[in-house]
Amino acid sequence: MTKNMSTSYTFAQNESISPRQLYRLYVFNLLGVGTLVLPNNLAKLGKYAFISIALGVFMAWLFMWIVSEVRDQKKSIYDRSFGKTAHAKILIYDLIIAIYELSQAAFLAWIFVKLIRDSLIPDESFTVVLLVIMAVCAYALSGGVECRARVYEVVFFFVLIPLAAMLLFALSDMRLDYLMIKDRVGVDFGIADIFAGAYYVFAASISVFNILFVRERTASQIRGSVSKAIFTYAGILFLLYAVLLGNFGKYSLSEIEFPAVVLMSDVQIKGSFFKRADALMLSVWFFTLFSVLNMSLYYAVLRCENFAENTGKIIFTFNKNRHSCSNKQFGSDRQKSHDKEKSTIRSWCIIFVIAVTVTLAYILESGDEIVKKYLGFLMCIAIPVIVVLTIGLMLTGCSAVELEERCFPTLAAVDIIDVDTNEITDKEVTDNKAYVSHRDVSTNENSGYIEFYYNMDKSYEPEYAYDIKTAVDSFEDRLSQKADTNHLKVILIGKTLRNDKAAYASFMEYCKTSKKFPRNTYVCIADDINDIFDNMGDYYEQKINKENHEDGEPIITLGTLLDDYTNEIHENR
């Protein structure tokens, strides 16, 4: 089955990044905030800050593990829980996460602009720098996460090797008397300050929350890649803090706003090649800050887009039984209309997110008191809410209310209907159906529409679409409850589909990749799935009791078909 490549899916359907790309991307995300804002905030703890760093990194790793477990349990919040559960609950999740992402993005944008103005172009206005940065971010948003992952995969060593070299050069300037300054616990700081410092380190690492939305990767792959990123970040942070403490002393360090950047301007390198080492090294924080800023904006746009779509679904669900309209539009035209509508929503979401971020960044620039209150909101409200939400998602099971919001089909039927069948071309359907020809790649001829339905009540007509995924998704979208296929007993396959090699291969691939239907589901082949449907209960019971076939004849399951299909593919290669 061919895929229509004329439509661009670069924004939200390219989440399939490799573990190596995931590792490098999160190294940049973690370094962007931690190396800039943590050293001066931990400086008053002196050498005890190493304890805070260790505790904070452990908290970040533990939170990452919890998030990966939630993602694994929910089969990706991005795909399942945010797309299939009760829409009202989805709206609440989307709203909370969008507020958090926007709040973080605004703070990061403000730091970004402040860093560039203070270090490179102090005479340039805040407005110009902010708008240029946000324009670049808006352009990067259209490329999706894979675009950024590929870029950072390339520049990874070009950024980290100079950083490591500068830190090694700075080692020669360290003063032992600064490292030997006595840290008076109970006088300069208390035990509570050590734990507060650990929370600062954890808060600077909160970007690990976004692995909740990483697609096409298992929990173990995510944990492995992000764990390596966290430990790499921890090693760099330990080394950087030790170098800063030895170069500035803890009291001076606590008064410097961006000590890591200042350190780069103080490092003496022999020769005339590096006249502005600080300007060169600023690229380290440019790439890292841009990475974490763009990540926050990216997921804010996704959540806003999801919020808009689910709001539309609630309206549609409310009105779908009140009226319906006839529509003979072919699925290809409807698909184009859907893509155009989705693209429009996405564009408005990008504009909205950029506008909110710019507005909040302007508010932060208005004064130090506003910055303190804003930081208080992030540290005391936004981040704790995200942590509680994540833990709550892990602990919550399927409550009685959730069960009432689900339906449990026991039979699914799928077949191909001939393109020329008058029943299809003349059929009046509601505006949410799609009739698209299914193309047989072996003959390059249209062979028909995929027909699909569950054994729901008679008010639900079969769904017809160009492929099985679209048919299943469209049928489930019309249901008033979420379809839980874990209790599916029988898959009824039409003989026409079984004899169509391309269609059957497409159906098997869908079953393999989506894992929508259990492997132990029994499979029945019928000349006409609609003829056997009404008597399926009696037939199924006879089949189980082996009253309708010879003794010893195996009962075919979906797992059997998948195994045969997979082995046949490899044998024919």
Domain closes at, from 354, 378, 397: 397
Query: Do 377 and 427 sit in the same domain of this protein?
Result: no
Query: Do 380 and 464 sit in the same domain of this protein?
Result: no
The DSSP string of 11-39 is: TTS-----HHHHHHHHHHHHHHHHHHHHH
Question: What span, in angstroms and rounded, lies between the C-alpha atoms of 416 and 121?
Answer: 65
Domain closes at, from 363, 379, 397: 397
Q: What integer pLDDT is reported at residue 33 of this predicted model? A: 84
Query: Do 163 and 237 sit in the same domain of this protein?
Result: yes
Q: What integer pLDDT is reported at residue 536 of this predicted model? A: 54
Query: Do 391 and 421 sit in the same domain of this protein?
Result: no
11, part of any domain? no
Domain closes at, from 397, 421, 451: 397
Q: What integer pLDDT is reported at residue 214 of this predicted model? A: 74
Query: Do 481 and 501 sit in the same domain of this protein?
Result: yes
Query: Do 567 and 505 sit in the same domain of this protein?
Result: yes
415 token code pair: 């077949």
Number of domains in the chain: 2
Query: Do 295 and 158 sit in the same domain of this protein?
Result: yes
Quote the pTM value: 0.63
pLDDT tens, position by position, 390-441: 877 766 654 444 545 677 788 888 988 865 444 444 333 333 333 333 333 3
Question: What span, in angstroms and rounded, lies between the C-alpha atoms of 486 and 453?
Answer: 16
Nearest to 111 by CA among 38, 56, 42: 38
Nearest to 207 by CA among 302, 293, 307: 293
Query: Do 473 and 368 sit in the same domain of this protein?
Result: no
476, part of any domain? yes
Q: What is the CATH number of the domain that holds 344?
A: 1.20.1740.10
**Alpha helices (H) along 172-218:** 176-179, 191-204
5, part of any domain? no
Q: Report the first-to-last Cα separation within the chain, whole angstroms.
A: 19
7, part of any domain? no
SS3 labels along 39-79: HHHHHHHHHHHHHHHHHHHHHHHHHHHHHHHHHHHCCCCCC
Question: What span, in angstroms and rounded, lies between the C-alpha atoms of 142 and 301?
Answer: 10
Query: Do 554 and 457 sit in the same domain of this protein?
Result: yes
- Which residues share a beta bridge with 492? 413, 524
Query: Do 444 and 541 sit in the same domain of this protein?
Result: yes
Q: What integer pLDDT is reported at residue 533 of this predicted model? A: 57
Query: Do 431 and 352 sit in the same domain of this protein?
Result: no
Query: Do 313 and 296 sit in the same domain of this protein?
Result: yes
Q: What integer pLDDT is reported at residue 110 of this predicted model? A: 92
235, part of any domain? yes
57, part of any domain? yes
pLDDT tens, position by position, 28-60: 888 888 888 888 888 888 888 999 999 999 999
39, part of any domain? yes
* Residue numbers in the chain where pLDDT is lower than 70: 1-16, 72-89, 143-153, 185-187, 215-217, 265-281, 312-341, 394-405, 418-448, 456-460, 480, 531-554, 573
140, part of any domain? yes
Domain coverage including residue 366: 19-319+333-397
Question: What span, in angstroms and rounded, lies between the C-alpha atoms of 200 and 217?
Answer: 29
Grouping H, G, I as helix, E, B as strand and the rest as coil, residue 256 is coil
Backbone angles phi, psi at 40, to 5 degrees: -75, -25
The set of residues, in sequence order, having a beta carbon less than 8 Å from that of 283 and lying 6+ positions away, is 159
